[in-house]
Amino acid sequence: MNVKFPAQHLTVKVGGSNLFGLAPFFDADVEGSEKFDRAFDNRVRMVYGGPFVGRLAYVQLIYELDRR
């Protein structure tokens, strides 16, 4: 999500990936107590051959320098 503040020449970006991890709750093959463990340890592989990635959240501030 981006929010621009034109008077301050500032842009704030907030984003995330894999934040909720609800998939283990709907897996019928997983026992009840293990569902919570998997929900909080929900590492996934984002790309073939890449590392496992857990939750990712970020905040980015961009200050734009204007040449006038």
pTM over 0.85: no
Q: CA 52, CA 2: separation in Å to the nearest integer?
A: 27
Domain boundaries, the chain: 2-63
Q: Return the higher-pLDDT residue of 20 and 59.
A: 59
Higher-pLDDT residue of 63 and 21 is: 63
Cβ atoms of 9 and 64 closer than 8 Å: yes
Query: Mind listing the pLDDT tens digit for each residue in 33-68?
Result: 777 777 777 677 778 888 777 778 899 999 998 755
